[in-house]
Amino acid sequence: MAANKENILEFLPRTDCEMCGMTCSDFADYLLSGDLSPTDCPVLHEEQYAGHIEALEEILATLAEKAATGLLIEAEKCNGCGICVAVCEYNAANSESGRMGRGPRVGEKVALRVDDGCIKLVDESLCTRLIQAADKCSKCVDHCPTKAISLI
């Protein structure tokens, strides 16, 4: 299961009791950023929430798979349309075939590529998000029609 705020909130009490010093929604943000862990919610230790901490830990484990760029790709949502490949800032600047409106050639150095019908961040180091910039690129996220890519 992907780690997004909706999934996280499903397993939080959603009572906004503020025993953690904030609302459940804010707590969910801290879980996503990795600054807090599910065990930091005292309410989740109550019997009625048995299994919720484990469920949250499982969801958050997907964060370990997220790219250093902050991009999380949910393969099951991708339809392989290739829009993100075409709009990718790195691809557009460096892939000649991409600029010509075709998919990148096999072996061409690109950040994103559709592989076997699904998008892959084939070389994370090429994503321009890793370069310190005032406005970080989020073109692939912004243009994906199925919301298969998110920033976390």
**Taking the CB of residue 45, how many other CB atoms lie within 10 A of it?**
12
User: Which residue in the set 3, 12, 59, 72 belongs to the binding site for ligand SF4 (CB under 6 A)?
Assistant: 12
Taking CB under 6 A as the rule, does residue 53 contact ligand SF4? Answer: no
In the complex with ligand SF4, the residue whose CB is nearer, 1 or 131, is: 131
User: Which residue in the set 56, 98, 149, 150 belongs to the binding site for ligand SF4 (CB under 6 A)?
Assistant: 149
Taking CB under 6 A as the rule, does residue 20 contact ligand SF4? Answer: yes
Taking CB under 6 A as the rule, does residue 60 contact ligand SF4? Answer: no
Taking CB under 6 A as the rule, does residue 72 contact ligand SF4? Answer: no
Q: Which residues bind ligand SF4 (CB under 6 A)?
A: 12-13, 15-20, 23-24, 27, 41-43, 69, 78-84, 88-90, 111-112, 114, 119, 127-129, 137-140, 144, 146, 148-149
